[in-house]
Chains A and B, each alone.
Chain A
Amino acid sequence: MMRRLVSLVGCLIMLGGIAQAQSGPLRIEITDGVIEPLPFAVPDFVAGDAAAADPAKNLSRVIAADLTGTGLFREIPSSAHISKVSDFDAPIQYADWKAINAQALIVGAVAVSGSKLTVKFRVYDVFSGAELGTGLQFSGSTDGWRRMAHKVADAVYSRITGEGGYFDSRVVYVSESGPKNERRKRLAIMDYDGVNVQYLTDSASIVLAPRFSPNGDRVLYTSYESGFPRIYVLDVGKVQRRVLENQDGTMSFAPRFAPDAKTVVFSLSQGGNTDIYTMSIGNGKRQRLTSAPSIETAPSYSPDGKQIVFESDRSGTQQLYIMGANGGEAKRISFGQGRYGTPVWSPRGDLIAFTKQNKGRFHIGVMRVDGSEERLLTASFLDEGPTWSPNGRVIMFARETQGASGRSSLYSVDITGRNLRPVRTPDGGSDPAWSPLQK
């Protein structure tokens, strides 16, 4: 699977044409509290020939789904379109798109030559009567068409929001089936939108909390296959794994890569005490970062690799702390009511996402790195385990329902708390981890 995806990276060409500065009214500020979704139109991309007809239609649909799924955009259906776009280079009939209030118009064309597919597109700011940015062209293998659609949608999203995109990304998670007392878990990887699910392990042993390497080529996770929780690293392309931590009499879990991809931070339990350690992937050399009788776990690096946020119950309840990458004194950052766990540093460095338990409810929330401006984004019987989209604007997490028939599924929500939506997976899901944007 990775191989065919790699082939997509082929070429990216700036199309000729009149470059326009990103100005005028076509702009969404994601951090605004409540916004009206921006209406856009994406007529079926123009097919170069009969072989391109299906891909052209499918691409347009995935682009529309990506944009609509953000909650920031609203598609104007093709049934309402006045103009038809049958020639990629024909002049845009702005009046026709204004008449249906399409603020953004995405026009594209698809050509298929053997197993190679080429997509080009332009984005128009209808009310300014001008192109937004310049046209782009992607080419790759025909079976990588969904990635090309995600790349087009990422470009459109970036031009309108000024933020990086996140559609051309993947999610590794724990696929769950069976009742609570007989839950079967296996690692799975999929596109961010729940498509192209591939299983990476079988369900013979419990697996927990997979985490991507900084470039997405490897996954760290915890497995009970030895009878004890141990950390494994898995090569995503080859689906090969090896144990990283295997010291008798200990348990290791909650691993994450450092941004340098050479170091792993994790929790190790020995004699009932759980502390945080790092390990070099190359030579296995370990360093102990905390030494307290309390539970220290769920470590996550800052994007610059200089600090680690983690949870500890050293104060009597689970709270969030930040320490240097080599340990030392830790500073508590969470002070609200309740218990805080599973902190994850935003890829932008500005926020910490966490799970909060208060008065019998669970929440996913974010706070600034200094602990200020805490904002709860969700509330339910059991929400847990946030992970950041590559652009730091969306959080995916797991929600478990209450009772004997309880089931865990994946959801996403944006950092303002808007656009809570399920992420569809074939079975239940937990412990999602979002990859970086693919290259």
Chain B
Amino acid sequence: MTFLRKLLLSSAVLAMGACTNAAGLGGANTVDLTGAGATAVGSPSDPNSVAYFQQTIGDRVLFLVDQSTLTAQGKATLDGQATWLLANTDYSAIIEGHADEQGTREYNLGLGAKRANSAREYLVSRGVAGNRVKTVSYGKERPIEICSEESCYEKNRRAVTVLSGALAG
């Protein structure tokens, strides 16, 4: 929650007028931002913006059923994230690991932790300082897609890199 507040705060300070749907921020807690009004994340065409990180690079990587191994596509996304983080050293990140609903609650917490850690280790291997990247697992508690089919499940099995405020430090 603190990190979200930081992000919200920093975004408000940074406000460039580009309004983005709060839900588009991608964090598991973005629900709490609903109605918070303008949240500027910069322009997706600005390579140093949060919007660029989220939309152009991609803030999330997806996993196969019951797996925490990164896919080739996931690694490519994380390469982009690492480059961005190395260029924007004021930001830190929390990687949120998630699972789909096909599993028991505790196991999915463990699985989400493995997924988040896989993404974190990859970023660190690409030179991002370990103390800038924390992890948290939400297990199956925060699906973004709600149907009970593979088309939804594949989007829920994710590790999302949520940036936290440059200015809030």
Contact = CB atoms under 8 A, between A and B. Distances in A.
A297 B103 contact: no
A296 B113 CA distance: 12
B107 A181 contact: no
B104 A298 contact: yes
B2 interface: yes
B145 A181 contact: yes
B106 A342 contact: yes
Which are the 3 A-B pairs with shortest beta-carbon distances? A272-B117, A295-B110, A274-B110
A381 B114 CA distance: 26
B104 to A, nearest CB: 4
A254 B109 CA distance: 10
B118 A295 contact: no
B143 A295 contact: no
B38 interface: no
Contact of A227 (B3, B111, B113, B143): B3
Nearest to B117: A272
Interface stretch (A148-156, A194-202, A301-309, A400-408): A400-408
B143 A384 contact: no
A208 to B, nearest CB: 7
B113 A406 contact: no
Contacts of B147: 403-404
Contacts of B134: 249
A357 interface: yes
A403 B148 CA distance: 5
Nearest to A406: B148
B160 to A, nearest CB: 14
Nearest to B32: A204
A49 B107 CA distance: 57
19 contacts: A206-B142, A208-B105, A208-B141, A227-B3, A253-B109, A272-B117, A274-B109, A274-B110, A295-B111, A296-B110, A318-B104, A342-B105, A357-B103, A382-B101, A384-B105, A402-B148, A403-B147, A404-B146, A406-B148
B8 to A, nearest CB: 14
Contacts of B168: none
Contacts of A384: 104-105
A268 B60 CA distance: 25
A42 interface: no
Interface in A242-273: 249, 251, 253-254, 267, 269, 271-273
Given A180-B146, A227-B1, A297-B109, A355 B104 contact: yes
A318 B138 CA distance: 19
B15 interface: no
Interface in A172-218: 179-183, 205-206, 208-209
Nearest to B113: A269
A269 B137 CA distance: 9
Contacts of A295: 107, 110-111, 114
Contacts of B16: none
A313 interface: yes
